[in-house]
Structure 1
Amino acid sequence: MHLLLVWTVLGAAYTVLTEGCLEGCECNQPFTLFCSTRRNPSFPRTIPPNTVNLYLFKNGISSIEESSFSGLWDLQHLDLAHNKLSTLPGGVFKRLTNLSNLDLSSNQITEISAETFQGLSRLERLYLSENHIRSIHPDAFRGLENLLELKLTKNHLVVPPAFSLPHLLLLDLSYNAIPAIQPGVFHARNIETLRLGGLGLKEVPADLLNELKNLHELDLSDNHLTKVPPGLRGLTKLNLAGNGAISQLHPDDFSGLSGLQDLDLSRMNLRTLPKGLFQSTPRLRGVSLAQNPFNCVCLLSWLTEWLRVSGIALHRSEETRCHFPPKNAGKILHNLQNSDFGCPIPTTVFVPTTLALTSTAAPATTTSPKPKYTTTIIITTTIAPNNPTEEPAVPTQYDQQCPPETCLNGGFCRLDLPGEVKCECPAEFHGMYCEKLLLTPAEFTEPPEMQLQVLERTSSSLKVDLQSYVQKNKHAEELSLSVQNLSGSDNRLVLYPLTPTLPHYTLKGLNSNSTYRICLKSTPDINGETELCSEAQTAGESPTPSAHITQSREGSLTLVLVPAVAAGILLLVVIVSAICYTRRRREKAHACENGGPLELEGVKTCLDEKGELKKLSESPTSTERGWESEEPLMDSSRVGNNNGTPTGRLPHSYF
């Protein structure tokens, strides 16, 4: 009977709500008003009083007042996201005493006053992301004792908001402009998830994290950290992606994270990882190492074996590739075998076994015990030097060899203690892998550090260095390379879109002995970065050897015979001409034109109308000669790549 009464009341309420549904809204769920297609900048006036969930996102609403929520005593969920609200009057929500969820994200709000959220004592979730908030009053969150989640992502805050929220579990301040956060600012010791990505932080004080005893998830991505923050404890998820200033990790960086399950180390500047880095994280289930410039040498070979044996998921494995040495560049790290890392072949060394005999003197009154035999086996992994008096060198974990062809242009390779590749370059080359050619002072019109480097040049190509520019503009999403011929008549500007992952790019199909202006800039233009330009000249074409120059003994005979044969033919032609001329005058005939008995085979018309030898035609045109020529660089109808294939965008490559 009671159940029937409850269903009757609910049905009546549902009927009232359905019958009073607003135009452009849906009321097919009890106590829920879902307005997704309504397009009206004013707040609706006839909302049913028993509404519990009110969705008014993307309605174009530009203002709200306290009277807008009159009679909505039961409202628990209010979604005003993606509207055009710029101001929130003080106490505008104070009639919504039962409200638990308020979403104001993606509006144009600039300020939060002390009275904005007055009366929302039961509020649990407050979303203010993607607004224009510059200031938040210190008392703005006073009275929100039950708040569990606070999101302020992508606003214009320059200092963290001060608040005391004892039950807060999630705080998201990502992508504001907060360069530093001091300990004690939050007063929310129960935070479980803290998101501080993209703030510009250079360090995270250990005291700040020590205050948060319940912290499980920490996001520090896209900051300017130079090392892993100290004092990390109790985390299950850690995100350090995008901290490009971190180029080296230490084995004890994650020593306090025994419960860590997910780790993101992508988009950093890691070239190697120390062996044993993850020994203190036995519960690790997934790791991301994508978009790091890894040196796939022997010191990193442990990583692929560890991933295979541990069964830990490597997220974004297709983006986890080797950068150097050249033979491994672009290869997926997870697919490499131990031999691909250039590890030396293990050598078995047999050493003698020493047998030590020890005995114990026994008292005269007792029977002497049997002698004890102790076997001592000495094992070493190094071959003894030629001089037996010298002690063998003690091997270290860094005593490894570089893979062949690691250093370019004749550089000598060695590995330092952290496992970094170091190349000793010849005098005319420089760079991490001796990949850059030093230019002479005459080749510069500006200081060297302000010019675009040209690594190699031929008569038809120029190799342009991109690496040094990318290192200074690490946030560039795309590069634009412009080329202009300053020597020819066609001086049109040609643009080449490039990816920042390319260390260099070769322009082909250029004119020999010509000067080109080459400029490089990032797209989109970040922080007003100017173009980096240089002028470079292609080499002249090598002289073509003359036909009569020979390089062999047989060629000497040719050198003698060719002029002799030519002289004989010329003499014969003169004789034929004389005979034809004599016979024409004598017989007034045209024996030469008709092919007389003295006519040579292959010379059908040797004389002209005056009885003289016909002149040979001028040298053939380029079309008649059939010269092969490369497609000109300044063809505005297309954009070419290094292979000369028309394309709109370059393929991903490392070299």
Structure 2
Amino acid sequence: MARVRMVRWACWAVMLGLCALATHGEMQQQCPPRSDISPCSCQVKKNGLDILCEFTDQQHINNAMAILKGKSLVIFYLKLRHNNLRKLPGFVFLGLDIRHLTIHNSSLSVVEEASLSSIGKMLTQLDVSQNGLTQVPSAAYKNLHHLLILNMNHNKINSLHARAFQGLDTLEILTLYENKINNIDPEAFVGLEKKLKRLNLGGNGLTSVPQKALVILDMLKKLEMQENRISDIREGDFEGLKNLDSLGLAHNKLRIVPSRVFSHLTVLNSLELDGNNIDTVDPEAFAGLEENLQYLRMGDNNIHTIPTEALKRLHRLRHLDLRANNITYISEDAFAGFGDSITFLNLQKNDIRTLSGMIFENLNSLETLNLQNNKLMHITEDVMEPILDTLRVVDIMDNPLLCDCDLQWYKNWLSGLKDKDDEMMQKKRTVCMMQQEHREYNLQSLPLEKMSCVIKSPNLIPNAATALTARFMAAFSVCFWAVIYI
């Protein structure tokens, strides 16, 4: 019995000790009195404290940091926003455990070497966006050995010097959007090659792809270089980026997509080329992208015809965006050889005047078709029939459609939609013009009787399977009678 009592007392002692530790831990995460750190504020979050200092100056921030020091607090978020903080002095965070640090829109232009060194073992995210930095403060960053995300968007950096980010060997995301970068040293990203997965160089002044600097980043998955002044891309520009999944080159000054320019990007899934001035796409432009490219955006360019020869090799393509080009005509074989996997096709804001033949015959998986804002006067059921079976969204608004019997396919197709697709389509006001009456009619309420149409009920519209069966039976009949006569 004595031994049992001893065991019980030992268990109680352990439990009490754990409770005391838990209570102590909870006490540690209590916010200091508001008056002590004013004008800063504090909230307790699940992983630590969330401290916000806004619209104040260097002295008030220094005072607040002094109060927080030495209390064994975990500051999960320290947000210094909209302040007058032109310089981040050395050792300002000494004695603090900070995991996420934001210094945003605070006129910051100088970061002293010792300002971040004391929190280098804890800090995982650093945001110094929308400030006045003119260069990367490499000396201050070199001890941030656990940093995962660095945001330097909206500063005034004009060049990236050699080894600008050395020491940040755990960094996974680096964003430098909207600076003034026009020069990148070939060794600028040395030290980032082990972990960097996303790099944003968009909104700068680059005139060419910084190939020599990028070639070492073989772990990179997403590269954003939109909104620069890149006028030419060449084969070899993306050599070394063997794991790149997404490439953004939108809103540059490209005119030509040359042969084999992306040939090293064999796992690329998404390519954005919209908002350039592209008028020429080489037949071998997308060589190397056959196995993985699914999303291709080429809207807002100067393309005059669907670049079938270049697209033919992309047999896994799902999303093709060619909006706002100068396409006037779609050839019968425009989607031959690559269209069977496309689920989304955007051709809005072109100059397409007619749709004829079996142009959509190869689009066996198409779910969304956007033909809005073209010059179409007629869209016949024969043209649409191969895709009516799979279509969930079709946008033919803002075309000069004339009311005719052939448009009843739209009303019948609409009646077969369900749920969210139906709700979205019902909101679209798609109209045609009745010339005799000089008035518009909604396609959902076409006056078929007045137009002397042969009215077809929805279930009489042949779907793709029915059409295929009909073709098969016709062929079988020909063969059967040929055999009989032989």
> How would you bin the TM-score normalised by the shorter chain?
0.5 to 0.7
Closer, same or farther: CA 327–287 of 1 in aligned 2, 3 Å:
same
**Number of the residue aligned with 2:446:** 337
Name which of 226, 232, 242 aligns with 2:324. 242
Closer, same or farther: CA 160–35 of 1 in aligned 2, 3 Å:
same
CA distance in 1, matches of 2:380, 2:361: 13
Q: What is the percent sequence identity of the aligned residues?
A: 24
Contact 2:156 2:180 (8 Å CA) reproduced:
yes
Q: CA offset at residue 206 of structure 1?
A: 5.0
**Secondary structure at 2:111 match in 1:** coil
Q: CA offset at residue 159 of structure 1?
A: 1.2
Closer, same or farther: CA 249–239 of 1 in aligned 2, 3 Å:
farther
Contact 1:152 1:174 (8 Å CA) reproduced:
yes
Name which of 362, 368, 386 aligns with 1:279. 386
Closer, same or farther: CA 284–20 of 1 in aligned 2, 3 Å:
closer
* 1:121-140 superposed matches below 5 A: 121=193, 122-140=195-213
**Number of the residue aligned with 1:550:** none
Answer yes or no: is 1:266 the counterpart of 2:348.
Answer: no
CA distance in 1, matches of 2:169, 2:207: 27
Answer yes or no: is 1:174 the counterpart of 2:174.
Answer: no
Answer yes or no: is 1:38 the counterpart of 2:38.
Answer: no
Deviation per residue, 1:403-452 (Å, 9 max, x gap): xxxxxxxxxxxxxxxxxxxxxxxxxxxxxxxxxxxxxxxxxxxxxxxxxx
Q: CA offset at residue 102 of structure 1?
A: 0.8
CA distance in 2, matches of 1:211, 1:169: 13
CA distance in 1, matches of 2:319, 2:223: 19
Deviates more, 1:258-267 or 1:234-243: 258-267
* 1:307-322 superposed matches below 5 A: 307-311=414-418, 312=421, 318=428, 320-322=430-432
CA distance in 2, matches of 1:296, 1:129: 47
The amino acid that maps onto 1:345 is C
**Secondary structure at 2:409 match in 1:** helix
Closer, same or farther: CA 19–287 of 1 in aligned 2, 3 Å:
closer
Deviates more, 1:241-250 or 1:272-281: 272-281
The amino acid that maps onto 1:142 is V
CA distance in 1, matches of 2:196, 2:373: 38
**Number of the residue aligned with 1:512:** none
The amino acid that maps onto 2:161 is P
Answer yes or no: is 1:94 the counterpart of 2:166.
Answer: yes
Name which of 382, 403, 410 aligns with 1:303. 410
**Secondary structure at 2:256 match in 1:** coil
Name which of 445, 448, 454 aligns with 1:346. 454
Deviation per residue, 1:281-311 (Å, 9 max, x gap): 8554334444444344444442333233245
CA distance in 1, matches of 2:220, 2:82: 30
Closer, same or farther: CA 19–170 of 1 in aligned 2, 3 Å:
closer
CA distance in 1, matches of 2:70, 2:293: 44
CA distance in 2, matches of 1:62, 1:323: 59
Name which of 192, 195, 198 aligns with 1:120. 192
Contact 1:233 1:256 (8 Å CA) reproduced:
no
Closer, same or farther: CA 19–233 of 1 in aligned 2, 3 Å:
closer
Using structure 2 for the length normalisation, give the TM-score: 0.60
Q: CA offset at residue 228 of structure 1?
A: 3.0
Answer yes or no: is 1:208 the counterpart of 2:315.
Answer: no
**Secondary structure at 2:214 match in 1:** coil
Q: CA offset at residue 176 of structure 1?
A: 1.2
Closer, same or farther: CA 154–269 of 1 in aligned 2, 3 Å:
farther
Contact 1:242 1:268 (8 Å CA) reproduced:
no
Closer, same or farther: CA 130–123 of 1 in aligned 2, 3 Å:
same
CA distance in 2, matches of 1:323, 1:174: 38
Deviates more, 1:222-231 or 1:120-129: 222-231
**Secondary structure at 1:302 match in 2:** helix
* 1:211-610 superposed matches below 5 A: 211-212=288-289, 213-230=291-308, 231=312, 233-246=315-328, 247=352, 248-250=354-356, 252-275=358-381, 276-277=383-384, 279-280=386-387, 283-311=390-418, 312=421, 318=428, 320-322=430-432, 325=435, 327=437, 331=440, 333-337=442-446, 339=448, 343-346=451-454
Q: CA offset at residue 96 of structure 1?
A: 1.2
**Secondary structure at 2:285 match in 1:** helix
Contact 2:157 2:179 (8 Å CA) reproduced:
yes
CA distance in 1, matches of 2:184, 2:436: 55
**Number of the residue aligned with 1:191:** 268
Closer, same or farther: CA 79–307 of 1 in aligned 2, 3 Å:
same
Q: CA offset at residue 325 of structure 1?
A: 4.5
CA distance in 2, matches of 1:25, 1:211: 47
The amino acid that maps onto 2:448 is S
Contact 1:42 1:61 (8 Å CA) reproduced:
yes
Deviation per residue, 1:539-598 (Å, 9 max, x gap): xxxxxxxxxxxxxxxxxxxxxxxxxxxxxxxxxxxxxxxxxxxxxxxxxxxxxxxxxxxx
CA distance in 2, matches of 1:316, 1:147: 43
Contact 2:303 2:325 (8 Å CA) reproduced:
yes
CA distance in 1, matches of 2:254, 2:71: 48
CA distance in 2, matches of 1:244, 1:261: 24
Q: CA offset at residue 136 of structure 1?
A: 2.4
Name which of 225, 229, 233 aligns with 1:160. 233
Closer, same or farther: CA 298–15 of 1 in aligned 2, 3 Å:
farther
CA distance in 2, matches of 1:319, 1:14: 63
Contact 1:119 1:143 (8 Å CA) reproduced:
no
Contact 2:260 2:287 (8 Å CA) reproduced:
no
**Secondary structure at 1:174 match in 2:** coil
Contact 1:234 1:256 (8 Å CA) reproduced:
no
Q: CA offset at residue 90 of structure 1?
A: 2.1
Contact 2:221 2:243 (8 Å CA) reproduced:
yes
**Number of the residue aligned with 2:123:** 51
Contact 2:366 2:387 (8 Å CA) reproduced:
no
CA distance in 2, matches of 1:224, 1:267: 17
* 1:131-150 superposed matches below 5 A: 131-150=204-223
**Secondary structure at 1:303 match in 2:** helix
Q: CA offset at residue 52 of structure 1?
A: 0.6
Q: CA offset at residue 221 of structure 1?
A: 1.3
**Secondary structure at 1:305 match in 2:** helix
User: Paired residues, what number?
Assistant: 343
The amino acid that maps onto 2:454 is P
CA distance in 2, matches of 1:54, 1:286: 43
CA distance in 2, matches of 1:270, 1:88: 50
The amino acid that maps onto 1:69 is Y
The amino acid that maps onto 2:159 is T
Q: CA offset at residue 79 of structure 1?
A: 0.6
Q: Which has more radius of gyration?
A: 1
Closer, same or farther: CA 81–325 of 1 in aligned 2, 3 Å:
farther
